[in-house]
A and B are shown apart, each in its own frame.
Chain A
Amino acid sequence: MVQNKLTSIWKKIWDTMGVWLICILLFVVMSVSTNKFFDAGNLINIIRQIATIGVVALGATFVVMSGEIDLSQGGFVCLCGCLCAHMIMKMGINMYLAILITILLSALTMALVGVVVSLLHVPSFIATLGMQYVLAGLVLLLTNSQPISGLPTAFTNIARGYVLGETIPVAGLILFVAILIGAFVIKYTTFGRSIVIVGENRQAANLSGISVPLIKIAAFAVAGGCSALGGIILAARLGSGQPSSGSDVSLMALAAVYVGGASKGSVFNTLAGTLIIGMINNGLNLIGVSPAWKNIILGLIIIVAVVLDIFRSRKSNT
């Protein structure tokens, strides 16, 4: 009986916290296996790298929870970074205003994609894949394939700066606050609850008075806003709007969401997924794995994560 109770408690912990345990385990393994990993400089570097992925993954979590998928986030990350840089450097717009406009424009554009998906019934997979190409074209038009460099320190500090002396990187703080807000929205607002219900059973949601199209459009808009924020952090880290940046962000963000266990639908688990992906990425860099192999490994991780996710939700169904 006691044995039984222990296993059920363990099961509960594993179900809700499993990803965090993997995350901690990975951290310990990496720290022990290479002396370059557990180093203040490297850890801060990881945080800067994952800030973009994490913020983008947060947006992806909203979309995945509502039962759709967004493949255009990488495109938005790139375009928004360049657009923001363009507004600051070429148009002389105030930096904060430029950031705000970028985020709003991106959210609005994704809302339109949401309209196409939920009202015109185009599968989100196709709509966002198409959008990805549109965005790639827009980036070339905007930048002429040239990086927009020379961004002011105030801007680059978004990714490179610290708060409280030399301890907390700004990018990490932005990610942390964004995750907290996201988790709060899902757990405590009617919008968040509606997303969860729509994702679980859209017919029941509709018959319970939830406007399914509106909720999906809003979820896409959140993803758009998050992608823009991710793009801005990336541009700040690179010190310029790079027309070739962001290509792997979509994949990494989705990997983070699925490693976190999308079917359980938790924003905090997405953060754990992001940390895992960030550490693996960093570890592969440290041991000098070539970019080709890195892509192969990340691609496989996303597939395995989805397989495990399906396996887990199937197990809880029987």
Chain B
Amino acid sequence: MENKSNIFLELKGVSKEFPGVKALKDVSFSINKGEVHALIGGNGAGKSTLMKILSGAYTKNSGQIIVEGVETEIGHPSAAEALGITIIYQELNLVQSLSIAENIFIGRHPKTKSGTVDWRTMNREAARLLKEFRIDLAPQTTVKSISIAQQQMVEIIKAVSKNAKLVIMDEPTSSLTTKEIDVLFQMIRTLKTKGVAVVFISHRLDEIFEISDRITIMRDGTYVATRDIDKITRSELISLMIGREMSQQFPERVSATGSELMRAENISDGVLLDNISFTLHEGEVLGFAGLVGAGRTELMHTIFGSRKKRSGSLYLHGKEVSIRSPKQSIRNGIGFVTEDRKREGLALNLSLRENVCMVAIQKVLTYGLISRKKETESSGEYIDTLGIVTPSAEQKAMFLSGGNQQKVVLSKWLMSNADIIIMDEPTRGIDVGAKREIYEVINQLVAQKKGIIVVSSEFDEVMGICDRIIVMCEGHITGILSKKDFSQEKIAALAVGEGV
């Protein structure tokens, strides 16, 4: 009985079905008051679906949701809010042009006697909340002028001010720097002391072990286990997640780099990038490490022609080329797996087949016309070789899990036969098993003498798969490391502009 009253939310046999996919099968577990409960699982494990059910974005097909001892239906986001459940998505929901205070109190501004907005009370209340969470910002600051991390904190404060009892955070650290993560964790600890439960979804094991009390593991839409964090080891956790023992995180590869494939000289954009020069060789995996905002993504867009270049030149196979659009890049054999697959990589409403054939449509033409048969064959080939989990090539891209979507984006470029493939955070938001599959594809590509550029914010990832690592800080290259010099400390120091 004692134990029962400590439970905030209990799930019993919750299931959810989409056309052709069983996203959640009979999931049962509970979340205690004031605990940090990590949720981990691979591609299509059902974490996002479950969270959307709790926040009222989806409705379950069967099962029970019990909140503070009372069975409830969460049919709408407002129902979740009334129960004290708030979700903080990766894409933040703030009004950019309004102030922090206005965002916190949006839709429920304190009013004066005559019915107008009581600015004084609103700003005072906001200031009090900011102070409580030890965030050094004025409540009048407009949201667009603060960093993503700070915006996330405003979201959390907004949730708290609405008396949230459960805050769900969907990969809150994915775009934060180490220092910002510390601040976030500080906030989470403050939430705990207030008795607020936090569900923390992340793929980063370090963070999970640091912040959470208990962890629930999901796999393929089913519940696997819930453990106290101090009673589980990393390898146990990983094997529960992928359902088999993990041999090694990064697959072996004999490094064999050949002649020069691409050379960038003195690339500047007049805004951030300043005199960037580097070379990429045949059969090489070249890593770009650095912190968020170092200009790595911007550099890749500049090389690919999707961002304006002020000066500098690019050589392919020793010959200077002028690239001013993605189209010219593709013609020159460059491919680009972008950071944000939903916004920049996929047409979510179209089928897997149409997405795979998006770049190399020329390859599936018969007498100049699109051949459905050839399209199905080509996309089927990548479904098989990359192990894309889908009912058929006609499945809409939006119904695929994150890892499978990433494989579809990768297929686009494999099909285009690019010599050089730039991959910006290729494993962000996908699970350990799928990550390894992506690394294996990279190894196969370099074995075919292609050159791969990998931009990644995870230092162990660039160290695990690259031949050389270029570290950037604030638009400059601060260091180029060859394999024998790899170390987390060196990269970290270069990334903050020290040890140059």
Contacts and interface: CB of A to CB of B under 8 A. Distances in A.
A41 interface: no
B365 A204 contact: no
B19 to A, nearest CB: 7
Nearest to B412: A208
A165 interface: no
B358 A208 contact: yes
27 contacts: A8-B19, A188-B369, A189-B368, A189-B370, A193-B354, A196-B350, A197-B347, A197-B350, A197-B354, A197-B358, A201-B347, A203-B343, A203-B344, A204-B344, A204-B346, A204-B358, A205-B358, A206-B306, A206-B326, A207-B336, A208-B326, A208-B330, A208-B358, A209-B327, A209-B330, A209-B359, A313-B349
A316 B370 CA distance: 26
B375 to A, nearest CB: 10
Contacts, number: 71
B67 interface: no
A316 B327 CA distance: 32
A201 B346 CA distance: 7
A317 B398 contact: yes
Interface string A207-240: 1111100000000000000000000000000000
A201 B359 CA distance: 14
Contacts of B358: 197, 204-205, 208, 210
Contact of A211 (B19, B325, B362): B325
A318 B58 contact: yes
A295 interface: no
Interface in B350-376: 350, 354, 358-359, 361-362, 365, 368-370
A278 to B, nearest CB: 29
A248 interface: no
Dominant secondary structure at the B interface: mixed
B311 to A, nearest CB: 23
B345 interface: yes
Given A197-B358, A209-B359, A211-B327, 9 more contacts: A188-B369, A190-B365, A196-B347, A197-B350, A204-B343, A205-B358, A207-B304, A208-B359, A210-B358
Interface size class of B (residues with CB under 8 A): 20 to 34
B326 A188 contact: no
Interface in A289-318: 313, 316-318
B222 interface: no
Contacts of B359: 208-209
A204 B346 CA distance: 6
B215 to A, nearest CB: 28
Contacts of B346: 201, 204
A121 interface: no
Contact of B326 (A8, A207, A317): A207
A187 B359 CA distance: 17
A70 B326 CA distance: 28
A211 B324 CA distance: 12
Nearest to A263: B349
Contacts of A313: 349
B481 interface: no
A316 to B, nearest CB: 8
B338 interface: yes
Contacts of B304: 207
Interface in A39-80: none
